[in-house]
């Protein structure tokens, strides 16, 4: 890693020009470097001022960036600049002293210039492909606060360890409607509460994905729109609650854009880290729990494992709902004590978390609705359940996964309420997370949409569904959902 930044440095780095994902200082360096290379090919009278001017620009901006510290994306730019700077400036200094400038022949200088330009171009390309994520501003009327809590279930042993007295512990991040904070209030880092947690989680996510950690060094620099421990919004009203379980190896913050959007519209979102499943979980005492979840490559064995992982996650979700209920009653402290309506609760999840959300709802009738974000149901013997479901999926063909849609369709048919499957055109599995905001736009991973389209559609569809099921708003839900993709409506059995 090239290092971590303070909030002031972060703001400088993320003050980007549209589409470039580079700071103003980085953009000045790139423009100056290009000018320095091309000065060699300008008419004689323009050559000297162009070389001197560009040289001063790249020296000042380069030094300022290195002090920063520099992002790895800018290293090729600095290398290309360092290669051309001595030759460009030295030749003009000789000419200024009355001596004949020593310049390479054009046939040697041209390929050298092209090599330097290619190195310089790598910087903007890498910054565009792997940017510091910039989260869409929440569109609701509330500001957003966030807080992290940790709870241990005394009645449930931790089956991932051999210690007899080890009990299941989960870390939960809350996003909630908040009062507007001063502009200088500290915005939450994307991946954790402290610089250490942010670095640990970022490196763990990279390791889980099998890529070098420095490629995701934009994640530790990212700040969300939520303010840490902001006072809850004024008034006496209570806010519906949405619990969220991330994907396999995912972390509680992986859908921050979605959570912030929901919170800005008056929902409390509680997202879980599942220890020994999430890539890395940093506990309050500083201990780090790494994932123990790995696929074997054997389809039957992996499905057997997934059934067990899903059951543990479903139990985690029910436990957290019980804790939130205690917070509401004032039995344990919490940032939104007395303001949550735990009588109106939805459970949601992505991928394996979506399967866990479906199972949690079938096992726990305190959940009133389910949102499944491209999650495969792993319950081997699903039974009828009363809650409505919104399932958002990519366009999965039978050649890719022949079991997914038949299994999901069967589970949706067991719902006692009208349920919906929305197939989002151009979506991929990670479209429904924050990944499009910071990963390279590889269609097989993120789909073919713009960076912000996936988080925007996911939040818009979720809000429409939640407003209908938890707030009884009389909007035409089917019409709203159809605006975002291909809708299949599953009517309950015996309804006509």
**pLDDT value at 142 more than 50:** yes
Return the residue matching tokens 């996964």: 401
Whole-angstrom CA distances from 358 to 56, 176, 414 are 61, 24, 11
| Tokens coding 466 | 């939640």
Determine the pLDDT at residue 110. Answer: 87
Whole-angstrom CA distances from 321 to 165, 272, 343 are 23, 11, 10
- Distance between CA atoms of residues 170 and 374, nearest Å: 23
Report the sign of the C-alpha dihedral through residues 465, 469, 475, 479, in that order.
positive
DSSP per-residue letters across 349-409: EETHHHHHHHHHHHH-TT--EEEEES-----SS---B---EEEEE----TTT-TTHHHHHH
Q: Would you tell me the crossing angle of helices 106-129 and 75-96 to the nearest 10 degrees?
A: 150
Q: What does the buried/exposed string (b/e) look like for 329-352 if buried means 16 or more CB atoms within 10 Å of the residue's CB?
A: eeeeebbbeebbebebbbbbbbbb
Determine the pLDDT at residue 45. Answer: 80
Alpha helices in 130-220 (DSSP H): 195-209
Pick 178 or 94 by higher pLDDT.
Answer: 178
| Tokens coding 393 | 């999926």
Pick 302 or 137 by higher pLDDT.
Answer: 137
Q: Are 266 and 344 in contact (CB under 8 A)?
A: no
Q: Are 436 and 459 in contact (CB under 8 A)?
A: no
Mean pLDDT score, 436-462: 92
For the chain, which residues make up each domain, given as ranges? 17-129, 143-490
Q: In terms of DSSP bridges, do strands 486-490 and 369-373 run parallel, antiparallel, or are they unpaired?
A: unpaired
Is 3.40.50.1820 the CATH number for 143-490?
A: yes
- Distance between CA atoms of residues 54 and 197, nearest Å: 41
By C-alpha distance, which of 19, 140, 241, 141 is closest to 459?
Answer: 140
* Spatial CB neighbours of 282, under 8 Å, sequence gap ≥ 6: 171, 192, 193, 196, 197, 200, 201, 288, 289
Q: Would you tell me the crossing angle of helices 256-264 and 453-470 to the nearest 10 degrees?
A: 40
**Which residues face 241 on adjacent strands?**
268, 345
Mean pLDDT score, 265-288: 96
**pLDDT value at 1 more than 60:** no
pTM above 0.85, yes or no: yes
Q: Kindly report, residue by residue over 364-386, the tens digit of the pLDDT.
A: 999 999 999 999 999 888 999 99
By C-alpha distance, which of 85, 87, 82, 67 is closest to 25?
Answer: 67
Return the residue matching tokens 């606060």: 145
Coil, strand, or helix at residue 183?
A: coil
Determine the pLDDT at residue 229. Answer: 94
Query: What Rg do the C-alpha atoms of the chain give, in angstroms?
Result: 26
Percent of the chain predicted with pLDDT > 70: 91
By C-alpha distance, which of 447, 170, 155 is closest to 321?
Answer: 170
* Spatial CB neighbours of 44, under 8 Å, sequence gap ≥ 6: none
Mean pLDDT score, 465-483: 93
Where does the pLDDT of residue 66 fall: very low under 50, low under 70, confident under 90, or very high at 90 and above? Answer: confident
- Distance between CA atoms of residues 352 and 259, nearest Å: 18
- Distance between CA atoms of residues 321 and 337, nearest Å: 14
Alpha helices in 15-172 (DSSP H): 24-38, 44-67, 75-96, 106-129
**pLDDT value at 96 more than 70:** no
| Tokens coding 152 | 């241990």
Pick 101 or 172 by higher pLDDT.
Answer: 172
- Distance between CA atoms of residues 188 and 252, nearest Å: 14
- Distance between CA atoms of residues 181 and 228, nearest Å: 10
Report the sign of the C-alpha dihedral through residues 321, 326, 329, 330, in that order.
negative
Average pLDDT value for the chain: 89
**pLDDT value at 248 more than 80:** yes
Coil, strand, or helix at residue 187?
A: strand
């Amino acid at each position: 890693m090239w290092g971590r930044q303070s909030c002031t440095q972060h703001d400088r780095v993320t003050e980007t020009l549209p589409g470039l994902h580079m700071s103003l200082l980085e953009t000045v360096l790139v423009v100056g470097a290009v000018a320095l290379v091309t000065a060699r090919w300008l008419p004689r009278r323009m050559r000297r001022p162009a070389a001197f001017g560009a040289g001063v620009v790249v020296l000042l901006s380069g030094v300022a960036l290195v002090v920063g510290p520099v992002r790895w994306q800018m290293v090729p730019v600095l290398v290309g600049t360092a290669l051309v700077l001595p030759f460009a400036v030295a030749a003009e200094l000789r000419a200024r002293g009355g001596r004949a400038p020593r310049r390479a022949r054009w046939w040697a200088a041209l390929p050298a210039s092209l090599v330097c330009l290619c190195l310089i171009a790598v910087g903007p390309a890498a910054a565009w492909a792997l940017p510091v994520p910039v989260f869409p501003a929440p569109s609701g009327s509330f500001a957003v606060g966030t807080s992290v809590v940790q709870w241990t279930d005394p009645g449930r042993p931790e089956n991932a360890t051999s210690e007899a007295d080890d009990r299941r512990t989960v870390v939960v991040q809350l996003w909630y409607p908040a009062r507007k904070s001063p502009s200088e209030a500290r915005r939450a880092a994307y991946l954790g509460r402290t610089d250490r947690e942010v670095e640990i989680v970022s490196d763990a996510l990279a390791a889980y994905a099998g890529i070098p950690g420095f490629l995701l060094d934009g994640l530790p620099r990212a700040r969300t729109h939520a303010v840490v421990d902001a006072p809850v919004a004024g008034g006496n009203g209570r806010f519906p609650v949405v619990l969220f379980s991330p994907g396999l190896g995912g972390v509680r913050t992986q859908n921050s854009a979605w959570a912030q959007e929901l919170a800005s519209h008056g929902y409390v979102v509680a997202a879980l880290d599942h220890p020994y499943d999430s890539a890395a979980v940093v506990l309050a005492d500083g201990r780090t729990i790494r994932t123990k979840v790995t696929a074997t490559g054997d389809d039957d064995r992996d499905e057997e494992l997934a059934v067990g992982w899903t059951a543990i996650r479903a139990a985690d979700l029910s436990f957290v709902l019980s804790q939130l209920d205690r917070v509401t009653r004032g039995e344990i402290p919490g940032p939104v004590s007395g303001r949550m309506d735990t009588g109106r609760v939805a459970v949601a999840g992505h991928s394996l978390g979506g399967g866990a959300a479906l199972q949690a709802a079938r096992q726990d009738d305190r959940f009133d609705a389910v949102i499944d974000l491209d999650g495969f149901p792993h319950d081997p013997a699903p039974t009828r359940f009363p809650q409505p479901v919104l399932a958002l999926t990519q366009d999965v063909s039978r050649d890719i996964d022949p079991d997914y849609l038949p299994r999901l369709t069967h589970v949706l048919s067991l719902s006692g309420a009208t349920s919906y499957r929305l197939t989002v055109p151009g979506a991929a599995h990670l479209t429904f997370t924050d990944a499009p905001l910071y990963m390279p736009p590889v269609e097989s991973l993120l789909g073919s949409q713009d960076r912000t389209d996936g988080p925007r559609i996911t939040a818009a569809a979720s809000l429409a569904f939640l407003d209908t099921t938890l707030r009884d708003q009389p909007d035409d839900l089917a019409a709203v959902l159809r605006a975002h993709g291909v809708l299949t409506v599953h009517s309950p059995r015996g309804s006509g």
